[in-house]
Structure 1
Amino acid sequence: MSTLIDKIAWIHLGDGRILSTRSRGKDVYYLPGGKREPGETDLDTLVREIDEELAVAIVPATAERLGTFQAQAHGHAEGVTVQMTCYTADHQGEPTPSSEIAEVAWLTYADRPRVSPVDQIIFDHLHTIGRLH
């Protein structure tokens, strides 16, 4: 039986780089975001997760869906798939590691091997459309 992990991610790009995070005890980087809680919309999840992880406020009116991507979930059994629905959005505040986040990094396409499988697919997409260098 296959399992689907439903996640929402924030795509924050600047100067051809993307903001990524590394959780304590993890060896790969992930796009900031997380799992939906019962009854939450995509936007609710995005606002809550980014506040929890990076202590910044997403400006909901500016959120735009970039796409939904799927891959084998990193660190999970075979057949566990992560589905990542990605949004761009303006924010207020300076991204600062918070909660389980140990590190915030600005990555380029050259850093692709350092991110989770679903993030690699997102990196490919962003590189193809000229947003990640």
Structure 2
Amino acid sequence: MNEAAEMKDPSFSGIQKVGAAIVLDRKVIALRKTNQPSSEYYMAGGKIEDGETQLQTLKRELDEELGVAVKEYDYIGTYEDLAVFEGTPIRLHAYYVLVEGRPKPANEVKEYRWFDSKWKSEGIELSSILAEQVIPELVARGYID
């Protein structure tokens, strides 16, 4: 199955997003929005628009949020939880991504930060899917320390 070619699942009534675990020098990037109510960092990416595949969403969102292009990607997994900002069910399709270009905060992105599996000791707050699902998978696959 080619997950990147998949579109929104009409049977899921919650928010459907694609998340990018952009890795550089064995660290992953996380973002904070300009007007977000919490201090949590979250994965780059965003909502899948009607008629858009996961890969199209990934490419669009990374260009909009960070001004970078997708060079390589690998499907990590699909995770469900409550959305940090909206408080509604979310289904996130996560991808390991290598990019072309240097990330620059754009659109609604206030700032970004690079981190590894020791993020807790640095006092960083992460969204639950990133912290509990994606980071352990990136470590298990040897992408980050």
5+ unaligned residues in a row in structure 2: which ranges?
Answer: 1-11
Judged with a 3 Å threshold, the aligned counterparts in structure 2 of structure 1 residues 50 and 106 are, in CA distance, closer, same or farther, namely same
Q: Deviations over 1:60-107 (max 9, x none)?
A: xx3321211222221333xx2221111223322110000000101101
Q: In structure 2, what is the Cα distance between the partners aligned to 1:90 and 1:128?
A: 18
Q: 1:14 aligns with which of 9, 19, 24?
A: 24
The match for 1:75 is 85
Q: What are the within-5 Å matches in structure 2 for residues 87-126 of structure 1?
A: 87-112=95-120, 114-120=125-131, 121-126=133-138
Counterpart residue identity of residue 116, structure 1: S
Q: How much does 1:118 deviate?
A: 1.3
Q: Matched residues in 2 for 1:76 and 1:106: separation?
A: 25
Q: Give 1:35-50 correspondences, 5 Å limit.
A: 35-50=47-62
Query: Any conservation in 2 of the 1:54–1:95 contact (CA below 8 Å)?
Result: yes
Matched, 1:31 2:43: yes
8 Å Cα contact 1:82-1:118 kept in structure 2: no
Deviation at 1:3, TM superposition (A): 4.7
**Structure 1 stretches of at least 4 aligned residues deviating more than 6 Å after TM superposition:** none
Question: Residues 76 and 137 of structure 2 are in contact (CA less than 8 Å); yes or no, is this contact kept in structure 1?
Answer: no
| Per-residue CA distance 1:15-48 (angstroms, 9 max, x = gap) | 3311111111331101100001110001110000
Hey, what does 2:8 align to over in structure 1?
A: none
Q: CA deviation at 1:54?
A: 0.2
Question: Normalised by the size of structure 2, how large is the TM-score?
Answer: 0.78
Q: Distance in 1 between matches of 2:112 and 2:73?
A: 21
Count of residues paired in the alignment? 128
Task: Give the TM-score normalised by the residue count of structure 1.
Answer: 0.84
Q: Which runs of 5+ in 1 are unaligned?
A: none
Instruction: Go from structure 1 to structure 2 and tell me whether the alpha carbon gap of 1:89 and 1:110 turns closer, same or farther (over 3 Å shift).
Output: closer
